[in-house]
Amino acid sequence: MKKKRILGAALALFTAMSMSAATYTFKIAKPIEDMKLQIHWCTSGEKSELEVQNGVATLSKNDFTAQYVRVYYGRAFAMNLYLEPDKDLTVDCNAEAREFNCTGAAATINNYLIKSPFAVLDFNAAAKEEVDFIKSSDSVYNANLALMKSANLPAYFAKKEEQRLLFKSYAMFPMYMSYHPYLKKMDSYTPTALYTDKLKQLTVIDGNCLEFAEYGDFIMNAILCQAFQGGDRNKEFMAYMDANVNDAKVKSYITNAYAYDVVSSSGLDGKDELIAYFHKNVSDPKLVDKFDKVCKQWEGLKAGCISPSFTATDINGKQVSLSSLKGKYVYIDVWATWCGPCRGELPYMTKLEEQYAGKDIHFVGLSCDSNKSAWEKRIQKGDMKGIQLHLGTKSDFMQKYLINGIPRFILLDREGKIVKADAPRPSDPQTTKLFDELLKK
């Protein structure tokens, strides 16, 4: 009996210990009204949203493995932390003063994460030639490793952190292939084996690494820059993935990120293979549901559907509706004066308008400027051709076309039906080919 009582007490104690949860407290100086604090759990992909009351947000949790998390408080701050289910943590956050401090059992690791001056390689480093760029990248990694080793971190965490620092330190590495020719004003650039071999070495395909937020960004960029060869991007993406990515977790992660971005930004036309590829490789119910919802949103914007309408104002205050433009093809440029890429397309748009002057096509600029006077001032310069209209920011037209970024180009036929809900830009040679084909009909 005595032995049974001892075992029972031990079991009760173990149960009580396993049920206890660590508490994570965030004390926020000058909290923002109605702003919630979010914790993104890197391993599970889940998010915890915490109410901030009197400047304090608290979470008690034990149903998880120790892992990195990303903490966001609106635009006030974002930070990496490492949470463990058996160690309390309090984080004092003064975003205005850029002061953050951790106390509690998990303080050592997390003070290291939020206070360390990690080395980074900036955008302009890509102007260097390959040898120097690689040396600079290696130096950043070595500096961050030295920083970590000087922090006297627990061995179990240091092993993980060394992996995370690899992807953090080489974050810029995959971008070199596009940034270098841009910064050097080169018409074309083909990297040598020195660079490509190093990139392949860094392109680690391991689903366990998805516990690092930095890995997700790195592996996405690394795969895409190696996959794209100047042809059909979706086909190149799928071919590269099937040939090089065998880890199911990584394949699901990259496929979801790529396919969702492509469909949500440019719709369903020509995407049947990519959509099927998504459903073949992504099984997470939440991800599938999110993807299917964005596909459903784009259903009404497929080629042949009647276009959503608009009524906008020209520089003289006259209202112009889409229906008044029927009878000709309509090429729409949704833009704003503050948008750099939009302004970059204007010279190409002018050339198109001159090339197709007198042809069966309207060129329409729809400004979504919230500052109408800025648009008026730009139009009054007199160098912009076509039909220039002010739409504003609260237009059903933009919402129905799912416009989340500009510039956005839309092509309609003579009856107001959609030819392309996400048409090629004026600077794209495919645009003139498309116009020529349509105008023959």
pLDDT (tens digit per residue) in 121-162: 999 999 999 999 999 999 999 999 999 999 999 999 999 999
- Does residue 419 share a domain with residue 335? yes
- Does residue 287 share a domain with residue 162? yes
Distance CA(274)–CA(171), nearest Å, equals: 27
CB 59 within 8 A of CB 50: yes
- Does residue 315 share a domain with residue 291? no
Instruction: For the chain, give the number of residues.
Output: 441
CB 211 within 8 A of CB 68: yes
Number of neighbouring beta carbons within 10 Å of residue 127: 14
Residue 428 within a domain? yes
DSSP per residue, 210-237? GGSHHHHHHHHHHHHHHH--SS-HHHHH
Residue 216's pLDDT is 94
**Residue with the two structure tokens 């049920």:** 19
- Does residue 217 share a domain with residue 166? yes
Residue 11's pLDDT is 42
Distance CA(129)–CA(141), nearest Å, equals: 19
- Does residue 406 share a domain with residue 373? yes
Distance CA(208)–CA(210), nearest Å, equals: 5
Domain span at 357: 311-439
Residue 7 within a domain? no
- Does residue 404 share a domain with residue 286? no
Residue 12's pLDDT is 41
Please provide residue 29's backbone torsions phi and psi, each rounded to the nearest 5 degrees.
Answer: -75, 135
- Does residue 24 share a domain with residue 50? yes
Residue 354's pLDDT is 94
> How many domains is the chain built from?
3
Radius of gyration in angstroms for the set of CA atoms belonging to the chain, rounded to a whole number: 27
Bond prior to 407 in cis (omega within 30° of 0): yes
CB 224 within 8 A of CB 258: yes
What dihedral angle (degrees, nearest 10) is formed by the CA atoms of 159, 165, 166, 169?
A: -170
Give the residue from 313, 410, 433 showing the smallest Cα distance to 363: 410
Residue 29 within a domain? yes
pTM for this predicted structure? 0.82
Residue 1 within a domain? no
Residue 220 within a domain? yes
- Does residue 267 share a domain with residue 139? yes
Give the residue from 178, 249, 169 showing the smallest Cα distance to 214: 169
Q: Report the sign of the C-alpha dihedral through residues 74, 77, 81, 86, in that order.
A: negative
Residue 13's pLDDT is 39
CB 191 within 8 A of CB 126: no
Please provide residue 330's backbone torsions phi and psi, each rounded to the nearest 5 degrees.
Answer: -125, 120
Q: What is the CATH number of the domain that holds 76?
A: 2.60.40
Q: Indicate the pairing of strand 89-94 with strand 99-103.
A: antiparallel
Q: What is the CATH number of the domain that holds 319?
A: 3.40.30.10
Residue 6's pLDDT is 47
**Residue with the two structure tokens 């396993």:** 18
**Regions of the chain short of the pLDDT cut 50:** 1-4, 6-19
- Does residue 316 share a domain with residue 237? no
- Whole-angstrom CA distances from 436 to 253, 356, 424, 433 are 40, 10, 14, 5
- Does residue 271 share a domain with residue 346? no
Residue 7's pLDDT is 47
- Does residue 291 share a domain with residue 414? no
Residue 144's pLDDT is 97
- Does residue 432 share a domain with residue 331? yes
Please provide residue 367's backbone torsions phi and psi, each rounded to the nearest 5 degrees.
Answer: -80, 130
